[in-house]
């Protein structure tokens, strides 16, 4: 019983940190520029596919993963400079609506392309050995994901609290006009954060693919999960999103173990609906 509990705890935590990362991808861009980025899942799937292709040519998952994430960041930069810039020209509710539809259209566009060129499922099975602890057999990839995500959270924390750019980003989130008066160019910060969020989604995608198969259709599912986590976390709060991801990861894992996987997904969406009904003013 205890061993079972420990196994669930580790798997739940691993799922939680992955959800946190996806949620951060939404939170950063929405909090900063009010664009609900429905392309997020595409970034994750592209990273996973790139990583699986690179695995054949470069040694080691870490190396392949890093190059894949860099490629996704470049991809995001191109998009930001072109189509996303058109969305940023609008303001207020117009920007929010245009952002939803433009990123929805783009995600369909890229999802279709992925289906055409990489229709199969990708599973980054690198064979992380399982770890036995106190009679529990812990999934190796879960432990690896938790450790790697902890490092990543540390880096993100450092970025937002101790670097000029990170503090500048938080300034723009709080007050765009105030940021301009302090000499921080919002559009530039928005571009950097858009790229950063794509990179985070790429990392989360690679983590996710260690334990599950990823297909082009996964991009839609992953995007919807990310939005729900971000909402439960408060949409513009970075620490709130991380906490929400971890809590939801646990709830989903436990609900999944007790009642079956479909109720796990239902729980996630129901939690988001409950939070929105309770505090609808958080997105305005």
Partner 1 sequence: MNANNPLSSIRSQLPVIAVFAALLLVPPLFFDPSTTYISRRFITVMTFAIFAMALNIIFGETDQLILYMGGIAALGTYTTVLTAQHFAVSPWLTLFVGAFVSGVFGGLICYVAARRQFTVIVLAIVTFAFQMIIMEVIVGLRDITGGTTGIPFRDLDLPAVESALGIGPFAVQFYVLVGVFAVVFAVYTWLTNSKYGLAFAAIRQDEFAARATGIDVIRLKVFAGFLSTFIIGFVGPFYAQTTGIVIPGLFSFNGVDVLVLIILVLGGLRSRFGPLVGAAIVIYLDNLLSQFGQWRTVTFGLLLTFLFIYFQDGILPMAQTMYEEGGVRDRLAGLRSGE
Name the residue nearer to partner 1 (CB basis): 105 or 178: 105
Give the Cα-Cα-Cα angle 134, 138, 140 (nearest 5 degrees).
135
Name the residue nearer to partner 1 (CB basis): 97 or 150: 97
Taking alpha carbons only, the member of 201, 56, 54, 49 closest to residue 121 is 49
Query: Do the Cβ atoms of 251 and 267 come closer than 8 Å?
Result: yes
Smallest separation, CB 82 to partner 1 (Å): 11
Residue with tokens 């050995």: 129
Name the residue nearer to partner 1 (CB basis): 47 or 255: 255
Q: Pick from 64, 76, 96, 144: which binds partner 1 (CB under 8 A)?
A: 96
Residue 11 in contact with partner 1, rule: CB under 8 A? no
Q: How many CB atoms lie within 10 A of CB 7?
A: 20
* Interaction mask 143-172, partner 1, x per CB under 8 A: ------------------------------
Smallest separation, CB 68 to partner 1 (Å): 23
Would you state the structure tokens that stand for residue 100, as one six-digit string?
A: 């939803």
Helix, strand, coil percent values for the chain (each to nearest 5): 80, 5, 20
Smallest separation, CB 269 to partner 1 (Å): 4
Residue with tokens 């117009």: 94
Taking alpha carbons only, the member of 20, 114, 28 closest to residue 75 is 114
Give residues with Cβ within 8 angstroms of 63, minimum separation 6: 54
Supply φ then ψ for residue 36, to 5 degrees: -85, 100
* Interaction mask 199-238, partner 1, x per CB under 8 A: ---------------------x---x--xx--x-------
Smallest separation, CB 226 to partner 1 (Å): 12
Residues 104-123 that bind partner 1 (CB under 8 A): 104-113, 115-116
Residue 86 in contact with partner 1, rule: CB under 8 A? yes
Query: What is the gyration radius of the CA atoms in the chain, in angstroms?
Result: 19
Contacting positions for partner 1 (CB under 8 A)? 36, 83, 86, 93, 96-98, 100-102, 104-113, 115-116, 220, 224, 227-228, 231, 260, 262-263, 265-266, 269-270, 272-273, 276-277, 280-281, 283-284
């Amino acid at each position: 019983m205890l061993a079972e509990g420990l196994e669930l705890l580790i798997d739940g935590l691993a799922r939680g940190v992955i959800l946190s990362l996806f949620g951060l991808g939404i939170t950063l861009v929405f909090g900063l520029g009010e664009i609900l980025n429905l392309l997020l899942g595409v970034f994750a799937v592209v990273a996973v596919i790139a990583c699986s292709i690179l695995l054949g040519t470069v040694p080691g998952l870490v190396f392949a993963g890093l190059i894949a994430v860099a490629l996704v960041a470049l991809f995001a930069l191109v998009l930001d400079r072109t189509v996303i810039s058109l969305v940023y020209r609008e303001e207020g509710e117009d920007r929010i609506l245009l952002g939803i539809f433009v990123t929805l259209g783009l995600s369909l566009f890229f999802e279709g392309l992925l289906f055409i060129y990489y229709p199969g499922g990708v599973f980054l099975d690198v064979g992380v050995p399982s770890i036995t602890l106190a009679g529990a057999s812990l999934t190796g990839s879960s432990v690896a994901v938790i450790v790697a995500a902890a490092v990543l959270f540390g880096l993100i924390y450092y970025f937002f609290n101790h670097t000029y750019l990170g503090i500048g980003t938080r300034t723009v989130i709080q007050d765009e006009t105030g940021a301009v008066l302090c000499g921080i160019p919002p559009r530039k910060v928005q571009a950097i954060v858009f790229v950063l969020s794509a990179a985070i989604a790429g990392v989360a995608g690679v983590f996710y693919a260690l334990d599950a198969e990823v297909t082009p259709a996964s991009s839609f599912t992953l995007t919807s999960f990310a939005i729900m986590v971000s909402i439960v976390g408060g949409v513009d709060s970075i620490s709130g999103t991380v906490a929400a991801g971890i809590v939801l990861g646990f709830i989903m894992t436990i609900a999944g173990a007790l009642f079956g996987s479909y109720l796990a997904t239902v729980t996630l969406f129901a939690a988001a609906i409950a939070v929105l009904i309770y505090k609808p003013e958080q997105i305005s």
